[in-house]
Amino acid sequence: MTCHYKQWFLSTPKFRVPIVVYEVNHHSKNTRKAKLFGVPKMPNLKKLKKISRITAMNDKEKVEKIEELTRLKKAGLGFVQIFWGNGRGKTTASLGTSLRACGNGFKVHLIQFLKNGVGDPEIDFPGEIKSLERFPNFTYRRFGTGGWVVGKPTEAQIREVKKAFDYLKSCFEKEYDIIVADEILYAIQLGLLTEDEVIQMIDEKPKNKELILTGSHKPFPKLFAKAHLVTEIKKVKHPFDQGYIARKGLEY
């Protein structure tokens, strides 16, 4: 069996973006996407050949074509993802997803509940925020009174969470593709929001916007039932339990 691989690219002055890789089997005259993509059958080859003509376009046409393909990729948006549990990595997982999304041209907006203030290195300017700020399609806003909620929440903390929640719902009217509500599940765990309020918010979410929720050591079965992806991050061992403090560049 004789096979070879072909690949088409979108080319701009700064980079080349691979559009598709496919495998041609000269023995069976069959053409399909390469196995490494996990797709058993390839789309119409003649249509793909048209895409290769992009290389002959001028820069403006190339940019417009890239934007068009990006819009087509965005047709798959709309899921609700949840990261919860007593282990480290809930915010980290959501920001890793944000990084991937930004690199693919999606507009990402991060809303942080219970994270605003001065003096806490994780709250003020963590390394992950500094990195994501370099993307023009990443924005964020924080709400909180400084530090974590200890004991009974204050009136100011309750107001900040309500303000953050109202702001989150207002973001559905904006041109964000992915919205991350970091620590919103802790707000439910602390009694600053109700599970039903968040479920209603999900029901009101536009179908074409991806929503990521993080936080909480406590499960919320009704809320989890509304999500498409639920990941529990479980602690097995943590250096904090041995008295180590957070390290810059690794924990914040």
Q: Are residues 184 and 65 in the same domain?
A: no
- Domain assignment present for residue 251? The answer is no
* Sheet bearing 80-84, strands edge to edge: 138-142, 108-112, 178-182, 210-214, 80-84, 229-232
Q: What's 138's domain CATH number?
A: 3.40.50.300
Q: Are residues 58 and 81 in the same domain?
A: no
Q: Are residues 175 and 100 in the same domain?
A: yes
Q: Are residues 161 and 207 in the same domain?
A: yes
Q: Are residues 86 and 203 in the same domain?
A: yes
pLDDT tens digits for range 240-252: 778 767 767 666 6
Looking at every residue in the chain, the average pLDDT score rounds to 78
Q: Are residues 112 and 198 in the same domain?
A: yes
Q: Are residues 90 and 213 in the same domain?
A: yes
Q: Are residues 19 and 86 in the same domain?
A: no
Q: Are residues 17 and 124 in the same domain?
A: no
Residue where a domain stops, chosen among 72, 87, 122: 72
Angle between helices 195-204 and 155-170 (to 10 degrees): 20
Range of the domain at 172: 77-242
- Domain assignment present for residue 159? The answer is yes
Say how many residues make up the chain: 252
Higher pLDDT residue, 104 or 51?
104
**Taking residues 186-207, what's their average pLDDT?**
96
Question: What pTM did the predictor assign?
Answer: 0.67
pLDDT tens digits for range 58-79: 677 777 777 666 665 666 889 9
**Most confidently modeled range among 27-31, 33-37, 74-78:** 74-78
Residue 187, pLDDT > 90, answer: yes
Task: Give the total number of structural domains in the chain.
Answer: 2
Residue where a domain stops, chosen among 72, 90, 114: 72
- Domain assignment present for residue 42? The answer is yes
Q: Are residues 15 and 83 in the same domain?
A: no
CA pair distance 118, 2, nearest whole angstrom: 64
Based on the number of CB atoms within 10 Å of its own CB, is 88 exposed (0-12), middle (13-18) or buried (19 or more)?
middle
Q: Are residues 133 and 206 in the same domain?
A: yes
| Best CA proximity match to 177, nearest among 208, 198, 144 | 208
